[in-house]
Amino acid sequence: MNKHKNKSYFAGVALVTLFSLLMSVAIAQDIRTTLFKNTDALMQQAKDARADLLSPENYADAQSAYAKAEKEVSKGRADRAEKELAKADTALNKALTASDLAVVTFEDSLKVRELAVTADAEKYEPELWASAEKQFADAARRLEDGNVKNARKSADKATQAYDDAELAAIKTAILGNARNLIAEADKNRVEKNAGKTLGRAKDLVARATADLDADRYTTAGPQMLAAEAEYEARHAAYLSGQLNELSDKEFSGEDLILAWEKPLRDVAGALGVSTDMTEGYAQPGAQQHCHRRTHWSRRMLKWLPVLQKWKWPWEARNWLYRKLSDYRRN
């Protein structure tokens, strides 16, 4: 009987303790909501005004005081929390005033910054972006200190930095893959065996770069040039690899040429035509099947997507395309 009473007693104590704890948390939360209400509203206004960008020092002071207030209220010291919140309110009001002035003073810089943001400068050119942000932050701090003249000078530098970052980001977004392929080819000394093909890739990148320098917002042409450059760089790497295999005593020039001819023979067989390689790709046996041109052309169309994915000599692929064009015309 006593044991049952003891269990009931301890259960009751536990329930009372839990209830008291929950009430304490609720009261503390209510106190926090009441204390922080005005400051939270100001903080949201500051965020909407981009005070962290336009008035970095005042905004940082506000955040610091706000964090201290949260710490004090968590310890039940509401009076101390109120003092820190008062500091935060003062800093936030200063930040809002400074931000309004900065929007007017740094109008040009902010426009160019938005263009850099649109170009994903932070992603494609992180160093240039960071440098521009640092320059703008310097301008904002000078304006907070009341030094409008020097603030504008710093803003002009930031404007140029954002402009450079935007252009570089656009170029990297379009030409980054081609540049990486060319850099890898240079690292692997591809130029030794496929210098002309690699040179075409570099020329295409140079042309695309020049076009973007002239007009960074007209990107269709540079994108096409970039795609061609990527192909030429990959092609150069492939050719170099094939020619390097010739140094293998078990792989001769004859083996290389026969390997190139095999895809053409396979496709011709699937299309129901023969191939005469006695004069290379220039003498296809398919010429013996002129009466089957229409049928051959239709089957060729079916194979084109496959041909585009195969790694084989560009001359062979061109031959097939030319034959298809001839049959279409006739």
For helices 56-74 and 126-144, give the axis angle rounded to 10 degrees: 90
pLDDT value, residue 6: 52
Whether the CB-CB separation of 102 and 109 falls below 8 Å is answered with: no
Indicate the range of 56-60, 186-190, 318-322 predicted with least confidence: 318-322
Q: In Å, what is the CA distance from 21 to each residue of 11, 14, 24, 31, 81? A: 15, 10, 5, 15, 22
> How many other CB atoms are found less than 10 A from the CB of residue 238?
17
- Grade residue 162 by pLDDT with cuts at 50, 70 and 90: very high
Indicate the range of 67-76, 85-94, 216-225 predicted with least confidence: 67-76
Whether the CB-CB separation of 125 and 165 falls below 8 Å is answered with: yes
- Please tell me the distance from the alpha carbon of residue 98 to that of residue 143, in angstroms, as a whole number: 8
pLDDT value, residue 145: 94
Question: Which of 13-17, 69-73, 79-83, 217-221 tops mean pLDDT?
Answer: 217-221
Please indicate whether residue 260 or residue 277 has the higher confidence score (pLDDT): 260
Does the reported pTM lie above 0.85?
no
pLDDT value, residue 272: 72
Look at residue 95 and give its three-state secondary structure: helix
Q: Which long-range contacts (CB under 8 A, 24 or more apart) does 158-161 make?
A: 158/106, 158/109, 158/113, 158/132, 159/108, 159/109, 159/112, 161/128, 161/131, 161/132, 161/135, 161/136
Candidates 177, 198, 282, 178; CA nearest to 243 is: 198
- Grade residue 163 by pLDDT with cuts at 50, 70 and 90: very high
pLDDT value, residue 265: 75
Give the rounded percent of residues in the chain with a pLDDT score beyond 70: 71
Rounded to the nearest 10°, the torsion over CA 212, 117, 137, 98 is 130
Residue 316 has pLDDT above 70, yes or no: no
pLDDT value, residue 75: 85
Adjacent-strand bridge partners of 51? none
Please indicate whether residue 35 or residue 129 has the higher confidence score (pLDDT): 129
- Grade residue 315 by pLDDT with cuts at 50, 70 and 90: low
Residue 22 has pLDDT above 60, yes or no: no
Candidates 228, 132, 214; CA nearest to 171 is: 214
- Please tell me the distance from the alpha carbon of residue 244 to that of residue 242, in angstroms, as a whole number: 5
